[in-house]
Amino acid sequence: MADDFLKQLETQRSYLLRVARLQLRDQALAEDVVQDTLVAALGAQAGFTGKSSVKTWLTGILKHKIVDAIRRKQREPVAASTLDDEADLEDFEGLFSARGSWQESPADWGDPEQALNRRQFFDMMDFCLEKLPPNTARVFMMREVMELDSDEICKELAITANNLWVILYRARMSLRECLELNWFAGGGRA
């Protein structure tokens, strides 16, 4: 049973490393956080009841380890001007008419639920996340993957709520465009 659990942990290592690397943008720190996650999982193995998948359980542990790492890095705050530069909305003006409607309707995404169950979709999502500017990706991951609330993100990054929502908007629009071009336009065959 212990060997089976170790194998399950090892199969999730690359996924955990991708999430940590996307969030932290620091390979060495990401590896440390994943290592801490796996050590914590080994220590808490008896507490794993199987009510969720091993992947979900490990992701929960990883979220806490990433938040801890971000808090440690708080002594090195992100320059607000860098976040402001990444939050420029002019790149998306051409997508909308003067009345706020789409210039061109978004591509038909088919059945997004089905796409989410496909490994290739997550590979493409990782690809698209990697293409985001580093701080934009970091904010998106804090909000959508780590599920931190807005106040905590604003406090951690020393930004305003308005700035946060602009950054999240930009991230979502960029991800939508990337996925539309690289995944959905090809029928999920990137």
Domain boundaries, the chain: 1-76, 77-190
For range 11-24, the mean pLDDT: 84
Q: What is the mean pLDDT of residues 141-159?
A: 85
Average pLDDT, the chain: 78
Label residue 33 by pLDDT band (50, 70, 90).
Answer: very high
More confident residue, 176 or 92: 176
Q: What does the block give as tokens for 150?
A: 């807005």
pLDDT range class, residue 84, cuts 50, 70, 90: low
CATH of region 77-190, choose from 3.40.1130, 1.10.3470, 1.20.140, 2.60.40: 1.20.140
39 C-beta neighbours (distance < 10 Å), count: 12
| Assigned CATH class of 1-76 | mainly alpha
CA 142/CA 121 separation, integer angstroms? 21
| Residue 116 or residue 151, greater confidence | 151
Q: List the Cα angle 149/150/155 in 5-degree steps.
A: 105
Q: How confident is the model at residue 165 (pLDDT cuts 50, 70, 90)?
A: very high
Residue 190 has pLDDT above 50, yes or no: no
